[in-house]
Amino acid sequence: MARPGAPEAADGEPLWCPSGSAYAPESVVLAVRAGLDGPPAYLPAPRPTAEALAELEPGTEPRRLLRLASHCVPHCLNRAGDTCTLAVRLTSPPPGAAALPDCHLRPACKWWTQSGPRACRACLQVATRSPAQDR
């Protein structure tokens, strides 16, 4: 069940954000980057983030190596009403011709639900850490 005010899929299940928090209890790893900030390679199935965090070198920001998903939340800084403004910004440029990545999250993804294939193509290019985390 989704949190009050959180977006839901047609079946009433919570939508997922492919730019999620490493520390949300439901968080899963979608992809692993090739080196710090490298391109992500999508996993064939989601993996609980808690397991992956235990394998990271101490002091490594998880989102530099892992592509994470967690539930879309009502208090996200990227939300304006029911719209994910991050997905809007990512999909504003003309869509590329790249094939869609294999992603298990797509049926319940907020970005996919809102913006379709353009969001999937843009997803590969997203870095999910804030400038404050680089300090």
Closest by CA position to 65, among listed 104, 100, 38, 85: 38
Q: How many C-beta atoms lie closer than 10 Å to residue 32's C-beta?
A: 15
**Integer Cα distance of 127 and 14 in angstroms:** 23
- The tokens describing 3, both together, are 């949190």
pLDDT for res 118: 81
Q: What is the mean pLDDT of each run of 10 residues along the chain (135 residues)?
A: 62 86 93 81 93 90 89 88 85 64 87 86 68 49
